[in-house]
A and B are shown apart, each in its own frame.
Chain A
Amino acid sequence: MTDHEVIDRVLAGDQKAFASLVVAYQRKALSLAERLLQDRPHAEDLVQDAFVKAYSSLASFKRGSSFATWFYRIVYTTCLNALQKQRRMPLSEQIDEDTNPVWIEPSFFDELGRAEVEEILRDEMSQMSPVYAVVMELFYNNEFSYEQIVKITGMPLGTVKTRLNRGRALLRAALMKRCPDLEVHNG
């Protein structure tokens, strides 16, 4: 059943159908909220709030649009509002938008093995500033396009690309630390 079919059922009065949307989106929503808040229990509370908000405003959801983008926008703004209340808004450093693109080459995976890359990835993502981690999360974990990330976060396209590049650069630096002898050609 598609998201739109589930929404139709919920709006027709089948409240239990909403559970399938919760099951489908909870993991990635929790992951996104944790990146922003850096606090797991708080992330769980706010994602629950986001689901309740989505449920209560389901009637206003526009049919032509993607439920995922709409829902993650709710999660993102719910978390940002909470951070604003706590005066913990993530700060971004000034980055030059014309920096060369950085990539995580397949040779890292060959050299270190997937398990080790994932371990480094986990460590680095937990330490990374939410400013970059959120964009990384939306792009790699949720597989959103740049345009969808712009819709979710409200950031300009250039900022999304720059922050994603910065996130990759931080991750690449962490991988390079583990295998300094590895010869990789960037770009």
Chain B
Amino acid sequence: MDSDDKKNELHDQLLRESFQHMMSRYEAPDFTAAVMSRVSSPFIRHRLTLWLLKHAAVLGLMIFVAGLVVAVLAVSSISQPEFSITLPAVSEAAALWGIPIAILVTLGVWQMETA
């Protein structure tokens, strides 16, 4: 605190008291019980579960990358690798309907994520 602040300590003290007197409206009935019921859930108690949930995205990415490396190494050991992709038999009409449906689903997911 600098000297200016010290000089006005009394002004601040009165304001502090008023702020703290207003706190009575912040009574939230059952708040403690609600928090305690959340912290006592077995889900929260298991730190490993929480840790896994928190780092799920990174863990998933690591597993994916590890899988990819293994696949690349496995394929590279084959002298003449051959790939063939067979597309499912879809009619043109179904494929055309698929585009707006895919757009709608994407928009819906985006809306939910940003709500």
A residues whose Cβ falls under 8 Å from a Cβ of B? 15-16, 18-19, 22-23, 26-28, 30-31, 34, 44, 47-48, 51-52, 55-56, 59, 85, 101, 103-106, 109, 114, 117-118, 121-122, 136-137, 140-141, 143, 145-146
Contacts and interface: CB of A to CB of B under 8 A. Distances in A.
- The dominant DSSP class at the A interface is helix
Contacts of A140: 12, 15-16, 19-20
A27 B23 contact: yes
Given A22-B35, A48-B31, A136-B19, 17 more contacts: A23-B32, A26-B35, A44-B31, A48-B35, A52-B39, A55-B39, A59-B47, A103-B11, A104-B14, A106-B14, A114-B18, A121-B15, A121-B22, A122-B22, A140-B19, A141-B23, A143-B16
Nearest to B41: A52
Contacts of A145: 1
Given A18-B36, A121-B18, A26 B10 contact: no
Contacts, number: 92
Closest 9 CB pairs of A and B: A140-B19, A103-B11, A27-B26, A141-B19, A55-B39, A51-B35, A22-B32, A103-B8, A30-B26
Nearest to A48: B35
Contacts of B39: 15, 18, 51-52, 55-56
A33 to B, nearest CB: 10
Of the candidates B16, B21, B26, B47, the one having the most CB atoms from chain A within 10 angstroms of its own CB is: B26
Nearest to A101: B4
A30 B1 CA distance: 27
Contacts of A16: 36
A50 B98 CA distance: 43
Contacts of B10: 106
A15 B40 contact: yes
A43 to B, nearest CB: 9
Nearest to A30: B26
Interface in B3-52: 4-5, 8, 10-12, 14-16, 18-23, 26-28, 31-32, 34-36, 38-40, 44-45, 47, 50
A47 B47 CA distance: 21
B71 to A, nearest CB: 36
A137 B34 CA distance: 25
Given A18-B39, A23-B32, A104-B11, A52 B19 contact: no
Contact of B28 (A18, A26, A103): A26
